[in-house]
Structure 1
């Protein structure tokens, strides 16, 4: 006779796997991104708080195209009383996404050891036709950035982008705006 717990193992395994599988609402991206137009420097307007950006303000992301079809990523930020912090990485396009979904990996010892585990989703969920504002997110809704080609946005433009993120299920009440992260001694462009 089988042990009663052994008979329940398939059911328990199924329940555990379904709990881990994530029942996230699908996250729609923009239809297509022209990476040539997307390249260049973007200023962080707002973000959901992340441990790796703790203490950062006046953050920028600069993208350039590599010969192999990947995208070079350089993220910079200011930290009070310190020099600029910089992280360099590489983004690759997710096949079939028309460049709207990227996988980004930053160059550090962990990513060199286990490259695919350290890749992050970088999904372009809103992008204006002139490539001046963008909203970046990922399916779990834990990461969100609002970026622009200028360091400041008019309030109505900012609120419109926040509305897009809210409609897509992001916790916009947790957004941190760059201008609120700056120390009082820092000027808007990062110079003092």
Structure 2
């Protein structure tokens, strides 16, 4: 393969990869909260636990704040403090319901047209504590309206995650000062 053919091949692969990531359907393959009340879910949540990934590496005091956008989507503002770089970090995104807004199955994007799954799978009646799964077992969050969680709810959420196929060995408990 000469240089021109190699460049053409690499360009085709790049375009194909981009098209796949933009057009791929985001599906919820887990049981999500039914009778989900969007208005009650909006507001500030503290991240108590997560599986680490590149954006959240070395972050503490992580919060997620949800509010309505004019177009009906949900504005997502994730914030935290990078204790290694000694600076605040923030990411702003958008979430949309996959189906009806009374199901906890959403998709979220922080990078233009690229969405991934956000599934609210456990939620107490008062919307104080939530267990959220991503689109696969690499993503999991435990959220709370305050900086702690009762032991019985924590254990319930961890057991639910285990029984759903999550290996909790690498679960990170987020420092909240």
- Superposition TM-score, scaled by structure 1 size: 0.72
Deviates more, 1:75-84 or 1:38-47: 75-84
Corresponding position of 2:73 = 70
Offset at 1:48?
1.1
Alignment of 1:172-187 (within 5 A): 172-179=168-175
Segments of structure 2 that go 5 or more residues without pairing to the other structure are: 1-28
Match of 2:108 among 93, 99, 104: 104
Alignment of 1:144-163 (within 5 A): 144-163=140-159
Q: Distance in 1 between matches of 2:103 and 2:81?
A: 29
Corresponding position of 2:166 = 170
Corresponding position of 1:22 = none
Task: Choose 1 or 2 for highest CA Rg.
Answer: 1
Cα displacement string for residues 33-55 of structure 1 (whole angstroms, at most 9, x for unaligned residues)? 11100000000110112122111
Offset at 1:99?
3.6
Q: Distance in 2 between matches of 1:100 and 1:52?
A: 23
Offset at 1:91?
0.5
CA contact (8 A) 1:35 1:65 kept: no
Offset at 1:173?
2.4
Match of 1:79 among 56, 70, 82: 82
Offset at 1:97?
6.2
Corresponding position of 2:6 = none
Match of 2:30 among 27, 31, 52: 27
Q: How many equivalent pairs are there?
A: 148
Q: Distance in 1 between matches of 2:99 and 2:151?
A: 36
* TM-align CA RMSD: 1.6
Q: Distance in 2 between matches of 1:131 and 1:154?
A: 14
Cα displacement string for residues 61-84 of structure 1 (whole angstroms, at most 9, x for unaligned residues)? 000012321000000011115222
Q: Distance in 2 between matches of 1:102 and 1:163?
A: 23
- Superposition TM-score, scaled by structure 2 size: 0.78
